[in-house]
Structure 1
Amino acid sequence: MSQHILIVDDEKNIAISVDYLLRREGYAVSVAHDGEEGLRLIREERPDLVLLDIMMPRLDGFQVCEAVRQDPALAGIRIVMLTAKGRDAEREKGLALGADAYITKPFSTRELVSQIKALLAPAA
């Protein structure tokens, strides 16, 4: 069974291109276009990993990350912040809230895929 990744990003062009990239790598992918929808899908689908933008309508990525980390039933879900917010303070906040990785836009697709593979690799 392929691993499931949820993309939560209100920028449709980014969501479409990352969706295509990840499907090509063999992942099952679903997409949400705002934080509220993203949190609902995280709870319903229990993806292995979430690619989470920060600046979104309804709930921002920080709020979604915090909600996921506060729910013990969702503890195993990996979170990668994928955002244009690249300042150190934002990176530190994302990691402090429980994100497993923080990648800034524009990003290298090779870096993104290698980060995802590293986070989803079985523990040795």
Structure 2
Amino acid sequence: MDALENTKHRILIVDDDEELVELIRDVLLRDGRFEVRTVNNGFEAGMAVKEYHPDLIVLDIMLPDINGKDVCQVVRSDPNMNDIRIICISGMVEEDRIQELKAVGADDFLHKPFEIEQLVDRICQLLDIPSRSHV
């Protein structure tokens, strides 16, 4: 097997909803193709992104300290992080807010609540890997 095939994709989950974080983490770890780190606020997200350099961030917009839009802007302002994909998640539904997020660098957006399989499919799409639900 090629060494690249053994490399796990690094995912950073940023959300203050502990149950949702645990669910996403468990599903991704069970999949076997992902290494997962979690944080529950924007400040920790900023530090974790620099230290961990994930392949993809699942980023809640409504965080207790710094909002997800600001985290997105910080990631996109650093040229060393251009390769990081960002999926924003939130219960908000205003289309103009979603467009603002995409304008500052979000690659995708999912409305809460969502099916976990839908999130995994989007992660696979952005990382250009086959989705298990389509295998």
TM-score, normalized by the shorter chain, greater than 0.5: yes
* Correspondence 1:100 to 2:114: no
**How far does residue 86 in structure 1 lie from its aligned partner after superposition?**
1.8
* Correspondence 1:54 to 2:61: yes
Give the SS at the match of 1:107.
coil
Give the SS at the match of 2:105.
coil
**How far does residue 121 in structure 1 lie from its aligned partner after superposition?**
1.1
User: What CA deviation, in whole Å up to 9, does each residue of 1:81-124 have, x standing for no partner?
Assistant: 011112101211111111000001000112111110010016xx
- Give 1:15's aligned residue: 21
Q: Structure 1: how far apart are the matches of 2:93 and 2:39? A: 22
User: What CA deviation, in whole Å up to 9, does each residue of 1:40-86 have, x standing for no partner?
Assistant: 10010000000000111221100000010011011100000011112
- Give 2:71's aligned residue: 64
**How far does residue 39 in structure 1 lie from its aligned partner after superposition?**
1.0
- Identify unmatched segments of 5+ residues in structure 1: none
Q: Structure 1: how far apart are the matches of 2:96 and 2:19? A: 27
- Give 2:10's aligned residue: 4
Give aligned-pair identity as a percent.
Answer: 35
Aligned ranges for residues 79-98 of structure 1 at < 5 Å? 79-98=86-105
Question: Alignment RMSD, CA only?
Answer: 1.0
Computing the radius of gyration from Cα coordinates, the structure with the larger value is 2
* Correspondence 1:25 to 2:13: no
Q: Structure 1: how far apart are the matches of 2:99 and 2:122? A: 18
**How far does residue 38 in structure 1 lie from its aligned partner after superposition?**
0.7
Q: Structure 2: how far apart are the matches of 1:88 and 1:12? A: 26
Q: Structure 2: how far apart are the matches of 1:51 and 1:39? A: 13
User: What CA deviation, in whole Å up to 9, does each residue of 1:18-51 have, x standing for no partner?
Assistant: 1111111221000000001011100100000000
TM-score by length of 2: 0.87
- Give 2:132's aligned residue: none
| Letter in structure 1 aligned against 2:127 | L
Aligned ranges for residues 40-51 of structure 1 at < 5 Å? 40-51=47-58
- Give 1:73's aligned residue: 80
- Identify unmatched segments of 5+ residues in structure 2: 1-6, 130-135
